[in-house]
Amino acid sequence: MRKLKLGVMISGSGTNLQALIDACVQKDYPAQIAVVISNRPGAKGLERAKDAGIDAICVDHTTYDDRASFEDAIHQCLKDHDVGLVCLAGFMRILNADFVNRWKDRMINIHPSLLPSYKGLHTHARAIEDGVRFGGCTIHFVRPEMDDGPIIMQAAVPISEAETEDSLAAKILHYEHEMYPTAVRLIAEGNVRVSARKCVFKDIDLDTAGLISPAIK
Ligand code: GAR
C-alpha cells in the first residue's frame, strides 16, 4: 500500500500528534508521518516524534527576520520530506496566505470549537461564559482566514453545569484524538474531497443522531 506522507506541525504538547503516531504504526493505516515540525524548541511533541523514530525538526520563528522567511523554511522542510498532507496539530502561529495557498486542500487543522463558532483562542472559556450547551472540536481544510475552511469532521460535546475550562478541554481533547486519525484516513483513502466551500464524502452517511442537552426524559 502506498501511504500518504504527513507533515505534522506543532507548537506544544503534541497529544494530537501522539494520536497520529499511534494510528500510523498500524499496518493497514493509509498514512505515515514523514516529519514533525515545531516552531518551539521545547515542545514536548518533538520528544514524542523522536521517541517514535520520526524526523523532528524545530523551525524556531524567533530566529527568522519575518514571517515569510520562517514559512519558506517550513515549506522547504515539508518539500524535502515529500509531504502530501500537512496536519496542523496545535500549531499556534498564524500562517500567511502565500503559505496556505501553496498547500491548498493539502493542509488540515484541528480547532477546539464547533466552527464557525469560537474562532481564535480561549474557546472553552468563551463557550462556558456564553452558556452554550455544546462545545466541541473541528477538523477542516485550511484557508487564509483564521480557523476557516471546508469542514471535514466535528464532535459536539455537552457542557455540564459544573464545567470548567480545564474539564471541558479534557473532554474535548478525547474526541480530538479520536477524530484526527479518522479524518486523515478519510483523506488518504480518497473518501473526502473539497467542492467549493464544503467537503463532500464518498459512501459516508452524514445523517447521524442528534444530541439534545439537557436530555429530554
Ligand atoms: C488542541 O486542543 C488543539 O485543538 C488546539 O491546541 C491543542 C493542542 O494540543 N489547537 C488550536 O487551538 C489551534 N487554533 P496538543 O498539542 O496536545 O495536540
SS3 of 208, please? coil
Whether residue 23 sits in one domain with residue 96: yes
| Catalytic status, residue 111 | yes
pLDDT tens track, the chain, 217 positions: 899 999 999 999 999 999 999 999 999 999 999 999 999 999 999 999 999 999 999 999 999 999 999 999 999 999 999 999 999 999 999 999 999 999 999 999 999 999 999 999 999 999 999 999 999 999 999 999 999 999 999 999 999 999 999 999 999 999 999 999 999 999 999 999 999 999 999 989 999 889 999 999 8
Which run of H or E residues covers position 86? strand 85-88
Q: How many Å lie between the centroid of ligand 1 and the Cα of residue 173?
A: 8
Instruction: Give domain status of residue 193, yes or no.
Output: yes
Residues 6 or more apart whose Cβ sits within 8 Å of residue 146: 94, 119, 120
Which run of H or E residues covers position 58? strand 56-58
Whether residue 30 has its Cβ less than 6 Å from ligand 1? no
Residues 6 or more apart whose Cβ sits within 8 Å of residue 210: none
Question: Which domain covers residue 152, as residue numbers?
Answer: 110-204
CATH number of the domain encompassing residue 21? 3.40.50.170
